[in-house]
Amino acid sequence: MANKVHHVQLGIEIDLNKSVEQTLWDKLYAEDRENAKRHVPVSQRGLMCAGICKDAGVTAWMYLRERNGRREAVHERAEDEARHAAPMTDEHKAYQERIVRVAQAEGFQADCEVRTRTGERAWISTDTMVACEGRRIGWEIQLSTIEHKGPKSVRARAAKATANNITPAWHTDRPNYSQRNDAHWTACNHFNAPEIRTNPIRIVSGFRALDFWRCQVGATLLCPNNITDSRKRCGKVHLTPKPRDILFDDMVRNTATGLVVPVEHRMSRRVHRFWVTRDDQRRLYDFAGGPVPEDQSSGADKAVGASMGAPTCRPQASGAIPKTAPVDGSRLSWPAPTPSGPVLDWRAPHHWSGEVLPCRYCSKPTPLRGDDGRPAHKVCAEAAGV
């Protein structure tokens, strides 16, 4: 939003991002509203953009607006407003291309800059949308500064997407953003555009494995109910989310198929948002008695314990929470899960071909190849039990 305005008649420039005298604002705003009531064209109200448009030698007319207590100057023409938008970086485009390529290789629907209607004149714009079996994952790649409050903030956009049946997935390479808790963030190290397009990318923050353990003598973790005395044990079962790594491509695939899902977990007064496996989600909801309520704390934007360090291991498969906890050890032992099909590792180069052919199972085009060299989607091969 451009907020630097030149008033033609008064011959002054006003920067609404800075403090403006209330009397001056009231006069200019009342004058502009009166012109609007009289249907005076914006180009005849005497307000011009004094920012990027002026620097580019473009005459761009503006009008004033006050929304939620915020003073704004709005361009008459959309193309003038767009001139102030930050250009998309090569890294941002590379992430979008990679998400689409990975999703389409699995047979999912995927596209960039998707607009979803939310009302008669309202839309949601999503960086990259991946759709599979009724699920819609809205990937937002955030590599630049974004507002903390207001209608364009992360929290507002994530809530709007969720309300319209879009699962928001925010990804960044900024360490400070990985510490935020206003959405379900994932983070990786910084890569340039060529590396993003070709290299393996490992997510180092935002994905968790849930560790359920009994608080008794011999437990290695401190009792959260007795943080001032490390010797005290309450005998209850506690939950500790631990950072785990996952490849970015696997994150794209598994969120689309529902094998990786977003959860909210209350710790003390705060609700923490992160991604877990579907099995861990079931264990969490069984443990907590259902999804956690909305966060009522004032400091919920800070994700305490988030890590940008390299995780030490990968998440292990887990089954349902046992009804009765064991009494002969400090940790719970979980029954082995019953897999619905084999999980294939197709990261080797021979599983990828530059030629797109129909999948042997669903007949949809794919560049992937099975162990026998025949074209097949990975998810189709897994479902077939190959």
% helix / strand / coil in the chain, to the nearest 5? 25, 30, 45
pLDDT higher than threshold 50 for residue 272: yes
Distance CA(109)–CA(41), nearest Å, equals 44
Residue 106 contacts residue 380 (beta carbons within 8 Å): no
- Residue 342 within a domain: no
Q: In 3D, which of 137, 144, 143 has the Cα closest to residue 102?
A: 137
Half-sphere CA count of 97, side-chain side, radius 13 A: 13
Q: How many CB atoms lie within 10 A of CB 55?
A: 10
13-17, 86-90, 215-219, 371-375: which is most confident: 371-375
Distance CA(269)–CA(25), nearest Å, equals 41
- The domain in which residue 16 lies consists of 4-82
Residue with tokens 């990318």: 201
Single-letter residue type at 167: T
- Residue 222 within a domain: yes
**β-strands 185-187, 167-172 pairing:** parallel
Residue 361 contacts residue 378 (beta carbons within 8 Å): no
pLDDT of residue 53: 82
Q: Are residues 59 and 78 in the same domain?
A: yes
pLDDT of residue 107: 92
- Residue 315 within a domain: no
The DSSP symbol for 222 reads: P
Residue 153 contacts residue 142 (beta carbons within 8 Å): no
- Residue 263 within a domain: yes
Intra-chain end-to-end CA distance of the chain, in Å:
54
Number of domains in the chain: 3
- Residue 133 within a domain: yes
Last residue of a domain, one of 37, 55, 82: 82
Among the residue ranges 58-72, 234-248, 302-316, the one predicted with the least confidence is 302-316
pLDDT of residue 302: 52
Cβ neighbours of residue 343 closer than 8 Å, sequence gap 6 or more? 382
Q: Are residues 106 and 234 in the same domain?
A: yes
Mean pLDDT of 306-327: 38
Last residue of a domain, one of 82, 109, 141: 82
Among the residue ranges 40-49, 211-220, 247-256, 367-376, the one predicted with the least confidence is 211-220
Q: Are residues 217 and 270 in the same domain?
A: yes
Q: Are residues 110 and 213 in the same domain?
A: yes
- Residue 312 within a domain: no
Q: In 3D, which of 126, 218, 215 has the Cα closest to residue 165?
A: 126
Q: Are residues 370 and 229 in the same domain?
A: no
Q: Are residues 130 and 207 in the same domain?
A: yes
Bigger pLDDT: 86 vs 264: 264
pLDDT higher than threshold 90 for residue 357: no
The DSSP symbol for 99 reads: H
Residue with tokens 């291309």: 97
pLDDT of residue 185: 92
Collapsing DSSP states into helix, strand and coil, what is residue 147? coil
- Residue 200 within a domain: yes
66-75, 101-110, 264-273, 327-336: which is most confident: 101-110
Q: How many CB atoms lie within 10 A of CB 157?
A: 22
Residue 236 contacts residue 215 (beta carbons within 8 Å): yes
Residue 247 contacts residue 220 (beta carbons within 8 Å): no
Q: Are residues 105 and 189 in the same domain?
A: yes
pLDDT higher than threshold 50 for residue 368: yes
Mean pLDDT of 233-260: 89
Q: Are residues 47 and 188 in the same domain?
A: no
Distance CA(340)–CA(258), nearest Å, equals 13
Mean pLDDT of 140-148: 82
- Residue 295 within a domain: no
Q: Are residues 24 and 104 in the same domain?
A: no
Which pTM does this prediction carry? Answer: 0.59
Among the residue ranges 14-18, 93-97, 154-158, 167-171, the one predicted with the least confidence is 14-18
Distance CA(77)–CA(61), nearest Å, equals 8
Bigger pLDDT: 170 vs 363: 170
What percent of the chain shows pLDDT beyond 70? 79
Structure tokens given for 129:
């949308």
Q: Are residues 78 and 123 in the same domain?
A: no
Bigger pLDDT: 216 vs 254: 254
Distance CA(230)–CA(222), nearest Å, equals 6
Q: Are residues 221 and 281 in the same domain?
A: yes
Q: In 3D, which of 177, 183, 100, 166 has the Cα closest to residue 143?
A: 177
Q: Are residues 207 and 277 in the same domain?
A: yes
Last residue of a domain, one of 26, 52, 82: 82
Structure tokens given for 75:
């361009």
Distance CA(154)–CA(304), nearest Å, equals 18
pLDDT of residue 2: 60
Report residue 52: phi and psi, to 5°. Answer: -60, -40
pLDDT higher than threshold 90 for residue 96: yes
